[in-house]
Amino acid sequence: MTLSEQLTTLLKETSLEVSQTQISLLIQYVELLNKWNKAYNLTSIRDPKDMIVKHIMDSLMVGPYLTGQSFIDVGTGPGLPGIPLAILYPDRNFVLLDSLGKRVTFLRQVVFQLKLENVTPIKSRVEQYQPEQTFDGVLSRAFSSLTDMVTWCEHLVSADHGRFLALKGVYPNDEVSALPSNISLVKSHAIVVPQLTGERHLLELVKS
């Protein structure tokens, strides 16, 4: 089975609407990631077929829970979940933030080769990044704890309607109970990723 066939099969198990053009872009991204990974060590996942499940599908399944037009993916690494989501939603804008130069170099290459006009890779530490405008959503699947995420990213979230969107594995009870008093958990979604073993949760947090 080709990567394209694998991705198409997995998408049929979801309610996501993904065009052939988008599937092609997602596959090109996986191929670039696989190629660059050999020299740059961008992800511990080596097999492109595993990348389809653990990186692409895992990122895309967050899509239905996004509200707004502007998002920042903090600690994006090789562009996860930002690149798959930007391909899924070409009318929304995504800033991909990482402090490591080689990752940002890779992301710029992805943006160039895939002609992604709605993606801006930026090399910066999150606490030092001062955007001109705040974001509707701050995404992360890399932060060690929810408290770290909301503390370091507080200046990035739109005051009136912005949300922190944290991707987690098992539901983090301890982290939720340790949240600062000015942060509220609005919703928690158990996310089912086809063929992925283990739990996945998306937590929506707001400043209260």
Give residue limits of the domains in the chain: 3-207
Task: Consult the annotation and say whether 198 binds a ligand.
Answer: no
Cα–Cα separations (whole angstroms), residue 130 to 5, 86, 159, 182, 206: 42, 22, 15, 21, 20
Distance CA 147, CA 190 (A): 20
| Per-residue pLDDT at 138 | 98
Per-residue confidence in pLDDT tens, the chain, 208 aa: 999 999 999 999 999 999 999 999 999 999 999 999 999 999 999 999 999 999 999 999 999 999 999 999 999 999 999 999 999 999 999 999 999 999 999 999 999 999 999 999 999 999 999 999 999 999 999 788 999 999 999 999 998 899 999 999 999 999 999 999 999 999 999 999 999 999 999 999 999 8
pTM: 0.97
Say if strands 119-123 and 93-98 run parallel, antiparallel, or are unpaired.
Answer: parallel
Task: Consult the annotation and say whether 200 binds a ligand.
Answer: no
Distance CA 200, CA 12 (A): 19
Considering the four listed CATH numbers 3.30.70.380, 3.40.50.300, 1.10.630.10, 3.40.50.150, the one that applies to the domain covering 3-207 is 3.40.50.150
| Per-residue pLDDT at 182 | 95
| Per-residue pLDDT at 82 | 98
Q: Give helix then strand counts, H and E, for the chain.
A: 8, 7
Task: Consult the annotation and say whether 141 binds a ligand.
Answer: yes
